[in-house]
Structure formats: C-alpha cells, structure tokens
Amino acid sequence: MPKWLRKSFVVLVTILTFGMVTPPQALLYENTNQLKASKASDVEDTDGSAESSAEEDKFIDKEVFIRQMVKEAELQSYEKFGTKIGPVIEDEFNEIILPKIEKAIQDVAVQYPEESLAHLMVTETPGGGVSEKIFHIANSQTNEDVIRFHVRRDHPPQQGYWFNFHYHTHHDNFQAHHELGAIYWDKNTPPKWMS
C-alpha cells in the first residue's frame, strides 16, 4: 500500500471515529520511530522526569521488535506478490519461507542491544516488475541496510519457473546468498511482481 494511502487511511479512521478507534498497528508502525523522536524533543524538562521517559522510549523489547518486523515482512511480501502471484503461493510462503524470514530477523535482533533496535526499520516499498527486492531492514540513523530480503525468478531448463527466496547481510557487503527456500510456480512465465 502506498505511503500516502496509509496516511490517508489513518487520518480517515481518526476523523470518522472522533479519535475513539485507532487504526491497525501495521499502518502506524512505519512512523513509530519518527513519533518517538519528536515526542522526546517536544517534552520540556521541568523536573527531570521528561528526560527519563525519553530514555525509556528509546528501548524496544527484542520480542516486540521481532513480531513487528515479521508482521511488516509479511505485509511487504504480499504487496510484492500482488493479486496474481499471492493467492497461488501464499500457503507455501506461510509454511516454508515466512518462518525462515522470522529466524533471520531473530538473528539480526540478537546482534543489537535493545536501545539500537528502535533505529531499525523496514523499507517502505517492495520492488515491482522483475526486481528481486521484497524488503530491507535498515538503520534509520545511518541510512544503511542491515539485511536485504529478495526473491529471484529461476528457470532451470525443462523444470518450469521457481521463486527463489534468499537474503543478504551487511557482514559480507551483501555478496553471499543465504537461502530461505524455493516455491514452484508453473511451466508458464509468471506475471510481474505487484500485478
């Protein structure tokens, strides 16, 4: 879903319900880090308590981080699959690939202290057409990718088309492919991503 549409939806829900109902967390998550930073700077330090509450906002529990990232990974994946590919591969994706994506995200979370996790965020838009990009997790402070999740179309001779899911990490400058699994499509050429 485009960023402008998400924001419009959040505003619409807020207006229609007079602020009594909050939009789904997935729509709000993308702006969480920005909101925390602005709240911390807006709070005036009158008795020192604002400083301690700003410090508490910088910490995010690893389990919460993993759940948020996996949910966002699922949303970005289905946005990439589109309406033509998604329904065909969703069962295998949920059973085989998504648990491995969660494991890779857990491996990333272990490498960072909780105060640094708040700075890791999922990129906004998957790549369409024939692009491999599903989503990346980047450090918002340095604007550098930490891990990149991709899907490649493979066409081995006389075997039909396969979707090869894999990821790359910053540890080797994104050179090595870390396999997540493959899902068979068909003998026919698959449609473009996000179609």
pLDDT > 90 fraction of the chain, expressed in percent and rounded:
52
Mean pLDDT for the stretch of residues 176-194: 94
- Establish if 193 belongs to a structural domain: no
Is 90 in the same domain as 23? no
- Establish if 194 belongs to a structural domain: no
- Boundary-marking domain end, from 13, 32, 57: 57
Is 69 in the same domain as 165? yes
> pLDDT-based confidence at 5, cuts 50/70/90?
low
Is 49 in the same domain as 68? no
Is 23 in the same domain as 86? no
Is 73 in the same domain as 111? yes
Query: How many domains does one find in the chain?
Result: 2
Is 114 in the same domain as 144? yes
pLDDT by residue (tens digit) across 43-68?
444 444 444 334 445 567 889 999 99
User: Of 155, 153, 157, 134, nearest to 145 (Cα)?
Assistant: 134
Is 89 in the same domain as 148? yes
Q: pTM, whole model, 2 decimals? A: 0.69
The domain in which residue 25 lies consists of 3-57
